[in-house]
């Protein structure tokens, strides 16, 4: 009987430990859809770290602002105070052109003469820069992604975590690089 109580106590403490980790440190996420291709694929399982500082080009998961009850996974392009412009398939932040190496292989496959990312600027959001407390996010598969261009700027408080690790399928297992 004493051994059974020890085992049950261990199981309870372990379950509490896992619950606290899941609640405050990380959350598992299943990628649904093709909006993050070629970086993330439909059906992949990833780990999103909570309590991390979000930086430009991080991939985040957040609560959908369109009241669908869904969560989205997108890449952070604009931080508060940034002036973001896309022109001729080139990203400009605060007047400086930025390379997006995570898109290069995908862009190379496009042969229809159209850009991966259509031109837009902050006037799309009736703003001159990303306001405090907001983020501008885009999916890597820009032609089909439902992102800030349709949803609007995302509240920083809606961010659930910073996607850092792919754990399934095993062929894609490893740390997710944001460049």
Residues designated catalytic: 35, 74
pLDDT at 139 over 90: yes
| Chain-centroid distance, C-alpha 100 | 15
Architecture of domain 27-175: Ribbon (2.10)
Closest CA to 72 of 35, 118, 20: 35
Q: What is the pTM for the complete model shown?
A: 0.84
Q: Which residues contact 166 (CB under 8 A, 6 or more apart)?
A: 40, 44, 45, 46, 47, 172, 173, 174, 176
Supply φ then ψ for residue 174, to 5 degrees.
Answer: 145, 175
pLDDT band at 179 (very low <50, low <70, confident <90, very high): low
Q: Which residues contact 104 (CB under 8 A, 6 or more apart)?
A: none
pLDDT in the model for residue 100: 92
Q: Please state the domain extents for the chain.
A: 27-175
pLDDT in the model for residue 106: 84
Give tens-digit pLDDT for 83-120: 999 999 999 999 999 999 989 888 888 888 888 999 99
Give tens-digit pLDDT for 41-51: 898 998 888 87
């Amino acid at each position: 009987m004493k051994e059974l109580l020890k085992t049950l106590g261990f199981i309870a403490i372990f379950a509490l430990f896992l619950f606290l980790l899941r609640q405050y440190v990380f959350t598992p996420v299943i990628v649904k859809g093709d909006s993050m291709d070629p970086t993330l694929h439909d059906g992949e399982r990833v780990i999103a770290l909570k309590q991390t500082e979000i930086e430009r080009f991080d991939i985040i998961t957040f609560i959908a602002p369109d009241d669908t009850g869904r969560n989205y996974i997108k890449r952070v392009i604009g931080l508060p105070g940034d002036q973001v412009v896309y022109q001729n398939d080139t990203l400009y932040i605060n007047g400086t052109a930025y390379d997006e190496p995570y898109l290069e292989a995908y862009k190379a496959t496009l042969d229809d003469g159209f850009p991966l990312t259509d031109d837009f600027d902050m006037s799309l959001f009736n703003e001159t820069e990303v306001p405090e407390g907001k983020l501008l996010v885009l999916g890597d598969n820009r032609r089909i992604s439902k992102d800030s261009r349709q949803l609007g700027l995302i509240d920083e408080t809606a961010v659930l975590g910073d996607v850092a690790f792919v754990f399934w399928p095993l062929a894609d297992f490893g740390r997710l690089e944001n460049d």
